[in-house]
């Protein structure tokens, strides 16, 4: 049996190596096929806010658009009838005007004038542009009397106040045929279209079966599913680790192999350049490169991702170059290399076909150990504002930073926002490090 096959069998029989490999493969599989295991990572449900792990709510988006004859805004394929129970809050808009130092109070609907408006019993909020609600107002307003101190902002004499009343239950019944809406009823009254805000939905059922969305790891401050963001963010972190490692392997193997095999002046020049770069803090080079290039072109997700690949890979090849150089130098004095030179093989062919394949074990081991290092470096960059995102989803490092910002350290509240990405990173990094360490031991049992 060949030495390579013997080493491979030792790795397969090593429970720690296989355990680390299984962990990484499982996490990678979940991240690659995230749409199979979670909902959208960017769907915001602001009315949910931060909810703890295990919470659930009706599976609705921020706004449900219904139009008879059109396709439904949700995937209701396979259902013939969908029932949505909502609570529609009633409200009343009142115009309050300050004229000649006294108040005029009038309802918007019906233009009825009011003599008195009690805002202590039922507070009102200032209605701004786009139906945005501002600060609440309290106090007793009496027509013909001055307003309470500070009721009107400086320089303003007209306010529109919205007073919310009790919620009224409403049931929408939607008939669906092949994903298209054929009939729409609001409390048994036919309608042609409707816009239902997601925060008003209390239950939704398809053919009598409740449709609910569960958040196994809770939600973040914007109501986004943490589990979904964890899987989609893992795609970015793992991709950064793999691609940046590949860049470092290509550069490091090329430089180290040429320096070790050529020797002489070229070896001194190349290794001298490596020593100079070693003297500069590598993370400083990454930050300098990213800030310089990003500052010239503004924010661009695709370009920033490629830049991170190049920046991290460009500073991780130094150790790889030294390791490969040492291995190539030891192999260059072996008999098979001398025999190859004797039969007239060119240095390039001898290096590529005979020397580098014998360094493959060392290269694979160090590459395996480089992936977790790169992922940690990406996380550090995220903490100083140089993280990357794709499709509206942050990598694990940026998610750790977000959790650190929102966790209530005094009470431990919102702990899952930090625990989820930290747990994912620790699991993957431990699996990769364990696999790489055991791989190094089994490929070189005497090392």
**What is 307-347 written as a DSSP string?**
HHHHHHHHHHHHHHHHHHHHHHHHHHTSHHHHHHHHTT--H
For residue 424, pLDDT over 90 is answered with yes
Higher pLDDT, 156 or 286: 156
pTM (two decimals): 0.74
User: What mean pLDDT do residues 237-257 have?
Assistant: 89
For residue 308, pLDDT over 90 is answered with no
Q: Compute the C-alpha angle 312/267/362, nearest 5°.
A: 55
Least confident stretch, 124-133, 137-146, 310-319, 375-384: 124-133
Q: Report d(CA 179, CA 70) in Å as an integer.
A: 9
Q: Report d(CA 88, CA 133) in Å as an integer.
A: 17
Instruction: Give the pLDDT score at 300.
Output: 63
User: What mean pLDDT do residues 306-316 have?
Assistant: 76
Q: Kind of pairing, strands 189-190 and 124-127? A: unpaired
Q: Report d(CA 243, CA 247) in Å as an integer.
A: 6
- Mean of per-residue pLDDT scores for the chain: 83
440: its two tokens: 């190094």
Q: Where are the beta strands (DSSP E) in 49-187?
A: 55-58, 63-67, 81-99, 102-107, 116-118, 124-127, 133-137, 140-142, 158-177, 180-186
Higher pLDDT, 446 or 242: 242
Q: Report d(CA 358, CA 7) in Å as an integer.
A: 13
**Radius of gyration for the alpha carbons in the chain, expressed in angstroms and rounded:** 32
Q: Report d(CA 204, CA 71) in Å as an integer.
A: 18
Give the pLDDT band (50/70/90) at residue 295: low
Phi and psi angles of residue 385, each rounded to the nearest 5 degrees, phi first: 85, 15
Instruction: Give the pLDDT score at 402.
Output: 87
For residue 446, pLDDT over 50 is answered with no
Give the pLDDT band (50/70/90) at residue 265: confident
Higher pLDDT, 109 or 431: 431
CATH of domain 3-34+223-443: 1.10.3720.10
User: What mean pLDDT do residues 108-129 have?
Assistant: 77
DSSP state, residue 153: P
Give the pLDDT band (50/70/90) at residue 447: very low
Higher pLDDT, 13 or 204: 204
Give the pLDDT band (50/70/90) at residue 163: confident
Domain spans in the chain, listed from the N-terminal domain onward: 3-34+223-443, 60-210
């Amino acid at each position: 049996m060949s030495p390579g096959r013997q080493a491979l069998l030792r790795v397969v029989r090593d429970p720690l190596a296989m355990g680390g490999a299984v962990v990484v493969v499982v996490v990678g599989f979940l991240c690659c096929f995230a749409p199979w295991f979670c909902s959208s990572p960017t769907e915001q449900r602001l009315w949910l806010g931060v909810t703890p792990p295990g919470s659930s709510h009706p599976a609705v988006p921020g706004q449900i658009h219904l139009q008879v004859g059109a396709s439904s805004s949700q995937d209701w394929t396979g259902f013939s009838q969908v029932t949505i129970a909502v609570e529609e809050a009633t409200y009343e808009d009142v115009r309050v005007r300050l004229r000649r130092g006294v108040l005029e109070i009038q309802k918007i609907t019906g233009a009825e004038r009011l003599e008195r408006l009690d805002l202590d019993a039922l507070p009102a909020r200032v209605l701004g542009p786009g139906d945005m609600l501002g600060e609440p107002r309290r106090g007793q307003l009496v027509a013909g009397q001055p307003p309470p101190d500070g009721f009107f902002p400086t320089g303003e004499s007209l306010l529109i106040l919205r007073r919310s009343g009790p919620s009224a239950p409403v049931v929408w019944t939607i008939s669906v045929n092949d994903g298209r809406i054929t009939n729409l009823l609001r409390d048994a009254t036919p309608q042609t279209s409707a816009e239902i805000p997601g925060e008003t939905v209390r239950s939704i059922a398809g053919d009598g079966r409740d449709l609910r969305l569960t958040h196994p790891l809770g939600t973040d401050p914007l109501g986004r599913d943490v589990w979904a963001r964890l899987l989609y963010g893992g795609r970015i972190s793992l991709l950064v680790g793999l691609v940046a490692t590949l860049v470092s392997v290509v550069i490091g193997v090329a430089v180290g192999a040429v320096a070790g095999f050529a020797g002489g002046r070229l070896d001194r020049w190349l290794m001298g350049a490596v020593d100079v770069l070693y003297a500069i803090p590598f993370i400083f080079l990454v930050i300098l490169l990213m800030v310089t290039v990003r500052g010239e072109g503004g924010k661009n997700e695709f370009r920033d991702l490629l830049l991170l690949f190049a920046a991290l890979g460009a500073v991780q090849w130094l150790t790889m170059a030294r390791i490969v150089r040492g291995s190539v130098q030891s192999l260059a004095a072996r008999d098979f290399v001398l025999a190859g030179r004797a039969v007239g093989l060119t240095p390039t062919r001898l290096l590529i076909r005979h020397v580098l394949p014998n360094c493959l074990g060392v290269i694979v081991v160090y590459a395996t150990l480089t992936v977790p290092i790169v992922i940690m470096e990406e996380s550090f960059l995220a903490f100083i504002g140089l993280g990357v995102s794709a499709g509206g989803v942050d990598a694990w490092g940026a998610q750790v930073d977000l959790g650190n910002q929102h966790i209530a350290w005094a009470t431990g509240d919102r702990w899952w926002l930090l625990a989820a990405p930290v747990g994912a990173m620790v699991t993957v990094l431990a699996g990769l490090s364990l696999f790489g360490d055991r791989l190094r031991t089994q490929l070189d049992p005497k090392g």
